[in-house]
Structure 1
Amino acid sequence: MSDAGAAAGRAAGTRDRDTEGRARNARPRDGLGRPLPYGSEGVDRQPEGVVRSPEQTVRAAQALLDAGRPFHAHEVFEDAWKARPGDERTLWRGLAQLAVGLTHAARGNATGGARLLRRGAGAAEEWAAGRGEDRPYGMDLCGLVRWARELADRVGAPGAGPVDAAAEAPRLRS
């Protein structure tokens, strides 16, 4: 959506919409996904609804995590969660929760960050236990669960401040 189209929609009291009429917030976002004022320069957003292979998903999400953009990595995982077969959805949802947990921790939301990191770790652990597989698509689920719980403990500790998303980014594959 163009900035002019978004501005016209806001002036008319309507919601930002994409070309298919779905509600979409056209505000630019920073690297952690926080909305910026209209007209500000933000980072490129991840297109929604992209169907990727698991390999492409892992590669794209890792690149975004390494760049300190876990919010955007969560969107990549969310696409997989919506597109992959039902028996894989718990896995991809858990990975999306891990990325959002890191996002909240980097934004300084310790409570939300710790909660989502633990929830995502639980989902990944549940998925692995239910299949007897802890390395789907080459990912190290045991290592991710350990990383998430350790980070949740650190960010949830009294006096803990925001974390550096790039420095804390997990390695999806060991």
Structure 2
Amino acid sequence: MSGCTGTLHPQAREGLRHFNAGEYFDAHEALEHAWNAEEGEAKNLYRGILQVAVTYLHIRRGNYNGAVKVYERSRKWLDGLPAICKGVDVEGLRRDVEKVMEAIQRLGPERIGEFDPALLKPVKWEKKQIYTCDRCGSEMYEKNCKVICPNCGNRFDCSDLNLYFD
């Protein structure tokens, strides 16, 4: 899936920071901005994580039916993605939310208040350094200590990037 290469949208990175801090409403807001700004197939990644955040928010608020409904929606977006997308461990997220939902379904709507919040795991993601091409302004990516602009082909290696100024 070509939309899974490269780096996360800045609002998606912000959303993941909120998600991993347990701030699920704020995660939803930031991820919604990323989802609306995305042009490629990575839209599904942002939508899926956003839906997991809303699922967790429903669980925290004791809304069993809302959690189940939104979880099913999240599967629509996450199930078609590869194990890693834009540096996000999608497979790990799918496993984690599956465990959460198994626990919720065992408890049922009457006992959702007994849910163990320790099951709400952070999303694992690779925090890539982002470079901007000095020729054309495009986002550049690093691979094997080489930074290449996908737009104009401008190249740097690690020795060019490790400059320090006093």
TM tier, smaller: 0.5 to 0.7
Amino acid at match of 1:102: Y
Moved over 4 A (4+): 162-167
The gaps in structure 2 that reach 5 residues or longer are: 1-6, 127-166
Count of equivalent residues: 117
Give 1 or 2 for the bigger CA radius of gyration: 2
Q: What is aligned with 2:69?
A: 115
CA distance in 1, matches of 2:44, 2:13: 19
CA distance in 2, matches of 1:89, 1:136: 11
After alignment, is 108-117 or 75-84 more displaced?
A: 108-117
How is 1:78-117 mapped onto 2 (pairs within 5 angstroms)?
78-117=32-71
TM-score scaled by length of structure 2: 0.60
The answer (yes or no) to whether the contact 1:105–1:114 under 8 Å persists in 2 is no
State the Cα deviation string for residues 102-128 of structure 1 (Å, max 9, x = none): 1101111112112212321331112x1
The answer (yes or no) to whether the contact 1:66–1:169 under 8 Å persists in 2 is yes
Task: Find the partner of 1:171 among 123, 133, 147.
Answer: 123
The gaps in structure 1 that reach 5 residues or longer are: 1-52
Q: What is aligned with 1:134?
A: 83
CA distance in 1, matches of 2:59, 2:88: 22
Q: Give the CA RMSD over aligned residues.
A: 2.4
Matched, 1:77 2:26: no
**Structure 1's 134 and 167: CA in aligned 2 closer, same or farther, altered over 3 A?**
closer
Greater fraction strand: 2
CA distance in 2, matches of 1:72, 1:169: 16
**Structure 1's 54 and 116: CA in aligned 2 closer, same or farther, altered over 3 A?**
same
How high is the sequence identity, in percent, across the aligned residues?
28
Q: CA deviation at 1:142?
A: 0.8
Amino acid at match of 2:85: P
TM-score scaled by length of structure 1: 0.58
Q: CA deviation at 1:167?
A: 6.3
Q: What is aligned with 1:21?
A: none
